[in-house]
């Protein structure tokens, strides 16, 4: 389903993000975890995309498997890193053939452990990828006459590569003008950052849905990994104090992290958020607890895919 239809029919939306494991066995385990989450009927699930060839193949395979054998609506990530136009077009054709409705177009992280020359990429920035997908849409190769819904990233705390916040907003507005239909934000822990970001988007005449990215802290090691993944997340002192009190008790750390994320979600819903996107790190327990505690009715009108 096209993202504009999803947002029009049922808002706020709730969605989960997964990353493809590095081995077929691990991918099989993740697939069963995803099947377990079907009963929650999220509006969509997103699947991340790495820099390596084998990881990318696992992304494509997992996306198509979710599409064809579950009731879930997968949204694959697509990045600029290590790609030329022919490769991106082949991926888009593959997804169009499988009736994938939406793409999340991202700049992508610099690959680790391999030599990388960014100047050799056909797409230097996410906006170049957005423009390419839009041209693909206009060519009419997708079964939906509108083509793919196109999502882009937003950064409530600021893009790590663009310290000038005015320039950052200019870049985001340009991506929207190039064809973006919705925004999914980077994770954040202070809702004030999200509300300020949303207001600045409105002031910049950006009026597409902004979906909030939430990642519960479930362990101290995960807490440190989050800071690394987010390129420098801002952790409120209130959260740091609570974690410090129980840092040697793994179960209490998990409870504190889940409770904090739950409070964020309640507040976001009270302030008319367009959607909440849970960064699951391929674990469903914390997301299940939060989802159940929000009192959200299970969706019953989702159409099953052909198995």
Q: Which residues are catalytic?
A: 17
Task: Give the pairing type, strands 182-187 and 210-214.
Answer: parallel
Q: Which residues contact 81 (CB under 8 A, 6 or more apart)?
A: 51, 107, 108, 109, 110, 111, 116, 118, 121
Q: Helices 85-97 & 53-69, crossing angle to 10 degrees? A: 20
Residue 218 to residue 283: CA distance in whole angstroms: 10
Check whether the bond before 12 is cis (ω within 30° of 0): yes
Query: How is residue 167 written in tokens?
Result: 């320039």
| Cβ–Cβ < 8 Å for 173, 206 | yes
| Cβ–Cβ < 8 Å for 272, 10 | no
Element (H, E) at 149: strand 149-154
Sign of CA dihedral 235, 238, 244, 248: negative
Q: Helices 237-245 & 250-270, crossing angle to 10 degrees? A: 150
What separation in angstroms does the CA of 35 have from each of 3, 71, 163?
22, 9, 40
Query: How is residue 246 written in tokens?
Result: 């129980």
Residue 153, strand partner residues = 184
């Amino acid at each position: 389903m096209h993202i504009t239809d999803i947002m029009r029919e049922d808002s706020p939306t709730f969605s989960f993000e997964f990353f493809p494991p590095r081995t077929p066995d691990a991918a099989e385990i993740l697939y069963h975890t995803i099947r377990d989450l079907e009963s929650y009927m999220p509006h969509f699930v997103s699947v991340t995309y790495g820099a390596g060839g084998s990881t990318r193949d696992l992304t494509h395979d997992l996306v198509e498997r979710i599409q064809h054998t579950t009731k879930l609506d997968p949204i694959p990530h697509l990045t600029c890193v290590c790609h030329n136009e022919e490769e991106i077009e082949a991926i888009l054709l593959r997804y169009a053939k499988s009736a994938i409705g939406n793409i999340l177009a991202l700049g992508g992280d610099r690959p680790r452990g391999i030599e990388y020359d960014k100047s050799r990429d056909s797409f230097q920035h996410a906006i170049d990828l957005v423009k390419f997908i839009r041209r693909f849409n206009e060519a009419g190769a997708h079964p939906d006459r509108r083509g793919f819904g196109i999502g882009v990233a937003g950064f409530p705390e600021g893009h790590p590569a663009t310290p000038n916040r005015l320039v950052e907003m200019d870049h985001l507005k340009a991506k929207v003008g190039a064809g973006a239909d919705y925004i999914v934000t980077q994770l954040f822990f202070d809702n004030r950052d999200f509300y300020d970001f949303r207001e600045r988007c409105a002031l910049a005449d950006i009026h597409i849905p902004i979906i909030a990215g939430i990642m519960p802290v479930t362990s101290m090691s995960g807490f440190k990994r989050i800071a690394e993944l987010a390129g420098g997340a801002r952790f409120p002192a209130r959260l740091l104090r609570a974690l410090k009190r129980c840092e040697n008790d793994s179960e209490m750390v998990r409870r504190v992290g889940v409770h904090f994320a739950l409070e964020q979600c309640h507040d976001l819903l009270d302030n008319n958020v367009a959607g909440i996107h849970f960064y699951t790190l391929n674990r469903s327990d914390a997301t299940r607890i939060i989802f159940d505690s929000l009192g959200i009715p299970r969706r019953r009108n989702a159409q099953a895919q052909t198995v």
